[in-house]
């Protein structure tokens, strides 16, 4: 009987504790006017709204945050993380209608030899004749009917020349970095079964014996091996160094940014500071005025013996790209860093500036549901205190460090950088 009473007392106490917890939760919920109002809106919407959609949480969340913030469902967030780590699927072509404006690194399209600037004319599925295409929709519909890992042929027109390319849709690891000097052009590929740098063409320009060129697409990928962009930058710089180059052209045109920790690693190669030290790459200032410093990896700038570092940028160079350039400029003690800006035509006027994204986003995840909310949480400052949000990098900001070349035929931005050297 004594044991039974003890058990009953224990159960009773537990029930009271549980009741108190949930009772408090309910009271708090009813006392919070915002939560009560949201519950009323959602319940009424789901019960009565004529055009109800299952996506109402995304619609509501995204309606109250800025264009850099976003609510992700579990499935969207999982896909986002896969893409950020370089895991892709498909053939690797990005289109405007039928015009090819992008080929993803290490994709089936790139391995097949497809480059930007062409127009897809026709597609040949297995066992069929060529189907002439009228628009991007007709291409997408035809492509969706072809099974993964099955060869098909694209007919692509480059000016007056039409070429045929055999490729397939498959999973692949995206790459981000291209290197060129007078010895040739190099990219990263896993054709051999492991990721490594390969020579794929002659030099893309007349660089001369002292200059190397890096084109960097985005601050993404895994951090610890050549599948990630920071390690690919290291490998490209190793090629730059062993080839005896002194002048670096670092092309960030079209690079919309990515992850700040990758920028911290890359900045260690490009900021003029004492070897082995870790320096401030950027500062974040939140809504309460709290400042967080983001440090570089261990600096090895001196090992490259740079005579000049020339960044190329345009109106799509944003976020981590602007952080990286800002760090290099902030530590430029010996006046070696320059910026060449591409022009963007706005209302018939050429405007020279980078994108101007100087704010940070932080992603918060629901560990139970798997969904996530990316929010703008801070302003970003360069190490010297400069803020570029809304304005970008401009000649007005940088003075003689910035060049605005005349818009000419060909790659006038790259040619202007070579002329500076």
Average pLDDT over residues 242-269: 97
Nearest-5° angle of CA 77, CA 359, CA 341?
105
Percent of the chain at pLDDT > 70 equals 92
Residue 74 host element (H or E): helix 74-84
- Name the residue among 337, 356, 352, 353 with its Cα closest to residue 249: 337
**87-171 against 174-420: fold identical:** no
Using one digit for the tens of pLDDT, what is the confidence trace for 229-244? Answer: 999 999 999 999 999 9
Q: Given pLDDT bands bounded at 50, 70 and 90, which one contains residue 18?
A: very low
Average pLDDT over residues 42-68: 84
CB 268 within 8 A of CB 298: yes
The yes-or-no verdict on residue 47 having pLDDT over 90 is no
Q: State how far the Cα of 219 lies from the Cα of 355, in Å rounded to an integer.
A: 16
Long-range contacts of 285-289 (CB under 8 A, 24+ apart): 285/378, 285/379, 285/381, 286/377, 286/378, 287/377, 287/378
Secondary structure class of 232 (helix, strand, coil): helix
User: What's the predicted TM-score (pTM) here?
Assistant: 0.87
Using one digit for the tens of pLDDT, what is the confidence trace for 290-334? Answer: 999 999 999 999 999 999 999 999 999 999 999 999 999 999 999
Specify the CATH number for 87-171; select among 2.60.40.420, 2.30.42.10, 3.40.190.290, 2.130.10.10.
Answer: 2.30.42.10
User: What is the fold, at CATH topology level, of the domain defined by 174-420?
Assistant: 2-enoyl-CoA Hydratase; Chain A, domain 1 (3.90.226)
Q: Given pLDDT bands bounded at 50, 70 and 90, which one contains residue 282?
A: very high
Q: State how far the Cα of 256 lies from the Cα of 342, in Å rounded to an integer.
A: 15
- Averaged pLDDT score across all residues of the chain: 91
DSSP state string for 90-141:
E--EEEETTEEEEE-BTSHHHHHT--TT-EEEEEE-TTS--EE--SHHHHHH
Using one digit for the tens of pLDDT, what is the confidence trace for 178-196? Answer: 999 999 999 999 999 899 9
CB 380 within 8 A of CB 283: yes
Give the per-residue pLDDT at 225.
83
192: tokens are 């051999």
- Domain-wise residue ranges, the chain: 87-171, 174-420
| Residue 284 phi, psi dihedral angles, 5° rounding | -110, 130
The yes-or-no verdict on residue 59 having pLDDT over 90 is no
Please state the separation of Cα 402 from the chain's center in Å. Answer: 24
CB 260 within 8 A of CB 223: no
The yes-or-no verdict on residue 109 having pLDDT over 90 is yes
């Amino acid at each position: 009987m004594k044991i039974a009473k003890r058990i009953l007392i224990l159960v009773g106490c537990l029930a009271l504790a549980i009741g108190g917890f949930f009772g408090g939760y309910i009271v708090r919920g009813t006392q919070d006017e915002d939560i009560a109002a949201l519950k009323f809106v959602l319940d009424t919407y789901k019960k009565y709204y004529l055009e109800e959609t299952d996506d109402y949480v995304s619609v509501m969340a995204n309606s109250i945050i800025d264009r850099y913030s976003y609510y992700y469902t579990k499935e969207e967030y999982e896909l986002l993380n896969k893409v950020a780590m370089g895991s892709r699927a498909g053939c690797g072509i990005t289109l405007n209608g039928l015009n090819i404006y992008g080929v993803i690194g290490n994709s089936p399209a790139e391995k097949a030899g497809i480059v930007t600037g062409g127009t897809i004319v026709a597609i040949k599925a297995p066992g069929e004749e060529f189907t002439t295409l009228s628009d991007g929709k007709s291409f997408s519909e035809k492509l969706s009917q072809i099974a993964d890992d099955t060869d098909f042929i694209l007919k692509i027109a480059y000016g007056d020349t039409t070429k045929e390319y055999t490729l397939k849709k498959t999973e692949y690891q995206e790459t981000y970095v291209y290197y060129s000097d007078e010895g040739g052009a190099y990219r990263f590929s896993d054709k051999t079964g492991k990721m490594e740098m390969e020579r794929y063409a002659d030099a893309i320009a007349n660089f001369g014996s002292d200059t190397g060129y890096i084109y960097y697409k985005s601050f993404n990928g895994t951090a610890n091996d050549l599948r990630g962009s920071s390690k690919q930058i290291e490998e490209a710089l190793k090629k730059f160094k062993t080839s005896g180059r002194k002048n670096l052209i670092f092309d960030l045109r079209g690079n919309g940014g990515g992850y700040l920790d990758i920028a911290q690693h890359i900045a260690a190669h490009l900021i003029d500071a004492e070897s082995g030290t870790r320096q401030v790459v950027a500062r974040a200032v939140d809504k309460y005025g709290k400042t967080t410093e983001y440090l570089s990896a261990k600096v090895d700038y001196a090992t490259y013996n740079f005579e000049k570092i020339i960044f190329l940028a345009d109106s799509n160079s944003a976020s981590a790209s602007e952080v990286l350039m800002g760090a290099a400029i902030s530590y430029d003690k010996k006046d070696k860093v320059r910026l060449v800006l591409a022009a963007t035509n706005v209302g018939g006027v050429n405007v020279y500036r980078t994108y101007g994204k100087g704010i940070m986003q932080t992603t918060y995840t629901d560990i139970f549901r798997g969904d996530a909310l990316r929010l703008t949480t801070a302003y970003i400052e360069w190490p010297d205190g400069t803020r570029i949000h809304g304005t970008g990098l401009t000649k007005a900001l940088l003075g003689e460090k910035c060049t605005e070349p005349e818009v000419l035929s060909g790659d006038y931005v790259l040619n202007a950088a070579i002329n500076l050297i």
